[in-house]
């Protein structure tokens, strides 16, 4: 491939790049963000500008938005029903899917669990709106562990891609990833969809920064995927844009604009305070300006202090409060309010948290789809079919402390002198505060103190029902492993094969491209 072709960017990528960088800077904050928002004015003193940048604080509003949304999504936990079948649809016994258990314990070969990996996916999809996830297997030269792993790609590193429609479904036809860059060269990896005659494949290139545009790029590695497999990667979204599958909507789209406005106001306030002047009259008709904090000597009778109007600073701070209000209304993130020491009613908090829960629930559905796509591709590497299910718990009311406390407060206000309500609230608070392994004992200790026999009986019966459940089990029972006796399985016929071993062609491995995203870890996809 010519160097010119490799260095070419998808027009949509080129159009999206400034916005993605803007999201990234807003999330990271720091000096780069501050210099981007508050640029040095032509007539501005360099020392004063540097003082402004170093001594003002860019509130991490976008980071708070991302962290809050994803904390809500992942806090209740994830249940995985790891079921697989042969290419012919025959159920595979659990004893023969150890590789899947290893994948959940070390998803990316960097000792990161699948939960941790997906949390990273959630964070990056929130920041950029979309990013990429790839499933792969190490080559023999890299120490093939006999199982797949996953890699998350920052969308800024994906320069080009192309879809084709098969049977009404979009299928990834081509993708070009900038894996690394040093002082001398760019390093690209290109993925190509195969055909019925030829398997999908990948090629890694090195493009010298001094190479001519029509010069052939150097091929440094190449390889094939198993027959019948498409490109084992997909785009993930925080929220899919209804106009296109090529990009999503960032969770900090509005918050990043508000954060910039907030920081501009912060700079205005700092400047007003820093350079407020007190006029010192030394002699009649002579005014001497002195910056705040200055010590001025004058003889008795010559000193006159002129008060400084701080109205502009107060107006600036009021505007900052308006900006935070806008973010809260748009996102349902009332935690920003705590920085202003404002108190909100319980009803308002309840409604606000419900808004946040709706946002989180929509994202949880996308995370389910993304993770199932991971297992779908991983199964194809192992000559299997994914037949399980991934469920992201969405009982956010139970895990949202702010929401529950607001509920308790409103309940107490409605029925202030009710023993039953008091008992229910106390029992629930104990469950929130007690160590997980001791909740039952703490609750029982409280129940023993209840004097009303009717209330005590109701609470005791409720505890018995809860304790009767198998809380350790995450996988539904009753799965029929048709044709499999005593757990045996013909590994030689259907077992782990890895790349390079022919896999029976069962049709394209693609699914409708869905949402997901993650940081490019190590800049290397592993093949």
Q: Cα separation of 456 and 452, whole Å?
A: 6
Q: Cα separation of 483 and 475, whole Å?
A: 21
User: Helices (H), strands (E): how many in the chain?
Assistant: 16, 14
pLDDT tens digit sequence for 77-94: 899 999 999 988 899 998
* Cα-based angle 112, 117, 120 (whole degrees, multiple of 5): 125
Judge whether 146 and 99 are in contact, CB under 8 Å: yes
Residue 103 has what pLDDT? 94
Rg of the Cα atoms in the chain: 30
Could you write out the DSSP letters of every residue in 231-264?
-SEEEEESSB-TT-SS-B--TTHHHHHHHHHHHH
Residue 390 has what pLDDT? 94
Residue among 461, 496, 507 at smallest CA distance from 171: 507
Positive or negative, the CA dihedral 400, 406, 409, 412 is negative
Helix residue ranges per DSSP H, 333-479: 346-381, 396-399, 401-414, 419-433, 439-447, 453-467
Residue 418 has what pLDDT? 80
Q: CB within 8 A of 341, min separation 6: which ones? A: none
Residue among 378, 370, 371 at smallest CA distance from 499: 378
The neighbour count for residue 339, using CB atoms within 10 Å, is 13
Could you write out the DSSP letters of every residue in 383-417?
T-EE--EEEE---HHHH-HHHHHHHHHHHHHHSTT
C-alpha to C-alpha distances, 508 to 12, 135, 170, nearest whole angstrom: 27, 15, 12
Q: Cα separation of 344 and 348, whole Å?
A: 6
Residue among 70, 64, 69, 72 at smallest CA distance from 336: 64
Residue 520 has what pLDDT? 27
Residue 146 has what pLDDT? 75
Residue 410 has what pLDDT? 72
For the chain, the helix, strand and coil percentages under 3-state DSSP, each to the nearest 5: 45, 20, 35
**Whole-structure pTM over 0.85, yes or no?**
no
Residue 145 has what pLDDT? 67
Pairing of strands 130-136, 169-181: unpaired
Task: Please give the DSSP secondary-structure letter assigned to residue 293.
Answer: T
Phi, psi of 60 (to 5 degrees): -75, 60
Residue 458 has what pLDDT? 79
The neighbour count for residue 446, using CB atoms within 10 Å, is 16
Please report, in tens digits, the pLDDT of each residue of the chain (527 residues total): 888 889 999 999 999 999 999 999 999 999 999 999 999 988 888 888 999 999 998 988 899 899 989 998 998 889 999 999 998 889 999 888 999 999 999 999 889 999 999 999 999 999 999 989 999 987 665 555 678 999 999 999 999 999 988 877 888 999 999 999 999 999 999 999 988 888 999 999 999 988 887 888 899 999 888 888 889 999 888 888 888 888 889 999 888 988 998 898 888 888 877 666 555 555 655 555 555 545 556 665 665 555 555 556 677 777 777 777 766 665 556 545 444 444 455 556 666 677 788 888 899 999 999 999 999 999 999 999 999 999 998 887 776 776 677 777 777 777 777 878 778 778 777 777 777 777 778 888 888 888 888 887 777 766 555 443 333 322 233 334 443 333 333 333 333 333 333 323 333 332 322 222 222 233 333 33
């Amino acid at each position: 491939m010519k160097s010119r072709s490799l260095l070419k960017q998808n027009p949509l990528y080129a159009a999206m790049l400034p916005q993605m960088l803007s999201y990234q800077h807003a999330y990271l904050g720091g000096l780069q963000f501050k210099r981007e928002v508050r640029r040095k004015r032509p007539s501005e003193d360099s020392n004063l500008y540097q003082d402004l940048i170093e001594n003002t604080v860019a509130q991490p509003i976008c980071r708070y938005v991302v962290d809050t949304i994803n904390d809500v999504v992942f806090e209740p936990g994830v249940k995985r029903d790891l079921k697989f079948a042969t290419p012919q649809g025959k159920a595979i016994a659990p004893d023969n899917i150890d590789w899947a258990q290893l994948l959940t314990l070390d998803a990316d070969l960097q000792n990161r669990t699948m939960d941790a990996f997906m949390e990273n996916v959630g964070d990056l999809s929130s920041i950029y709106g979309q990013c990429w996830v790839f499933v792969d297997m190490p080559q023999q030269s890299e120490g093939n562990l006999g199982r797949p792993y996953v890699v998350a790609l920052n969308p800024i590193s994906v320069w080009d891609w192309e879809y084709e429609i098969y049977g009404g479904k979009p299928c990834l036809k081509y993708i070009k990833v900038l894996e690394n860059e040093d002082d001398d060269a760019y390093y690209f990896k290109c993925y190509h969809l195969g055909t019925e005659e030829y398997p999908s494949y990948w090629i890694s290139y090195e493009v010298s920064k001094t190479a001519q545009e029509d010069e052939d790029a150097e091929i440094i590695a190449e390889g094939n995927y198993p027959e019948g497999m498409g490109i084992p990667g997909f785009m993930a979204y925080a929220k899919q844009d209804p106009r296109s599958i090529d990009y999503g909507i960032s969770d900090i789209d509005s918050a990043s604009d508000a954060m910039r406005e907030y920081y501009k106001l912060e700079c205005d306030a700092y400047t007003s305070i820093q350079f407020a002047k007190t006029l010192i009259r030394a002699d009649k008709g002579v005014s001497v300006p002195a910056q705040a904090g200055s010590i001025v000597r004058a003889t008795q009778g010559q000193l006159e202090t002129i008060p400084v109007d701080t109205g502009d600073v107060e107006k600036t701070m009021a505007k900052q409060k308006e900006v935070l209000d806008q973010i809260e209304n748009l996102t349902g993130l009332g935690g920003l309010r705590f920085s202003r020491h404002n108190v909100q009613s319980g009803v308002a908090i309840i409604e606000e948290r419900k808004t946040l829960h709706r946002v989180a629930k929509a994202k949880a559905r996308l995370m389910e789809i993304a993770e199932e796509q991971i297992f779908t591709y991983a199964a194809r590497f192992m000559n299997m079919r994914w037949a399980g299910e991934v469920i992201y718990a969405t009982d956010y009311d139970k895990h949202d402390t702010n929401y529950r406390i607001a509920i308790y407060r409103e309940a107490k206000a409605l029925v202030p002198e009710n023993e039953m309500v008091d008992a229910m609230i106390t029992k629930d608070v104990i469950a929130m505060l007690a160590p997980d392994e001791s909740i039952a004992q703490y609750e029982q200790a409280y129940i023993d103190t209840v004097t009303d026999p009717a209330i005590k009986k109701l609470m005791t019966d409720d505890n018995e029902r809860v304790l009767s459940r198998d809380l350790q089990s995450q996988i539904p029972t009753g799965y029929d492993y048709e044709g499999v006796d005593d757990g045996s399985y013909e590994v030689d016929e259907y077992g782990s094969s890895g790349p390079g071993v022919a896999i029976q062609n069962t049709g394209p491995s693609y699914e409708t491209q869905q949402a997901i995203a993650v940081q490019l870890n190590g800049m290397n996809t592993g093949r």
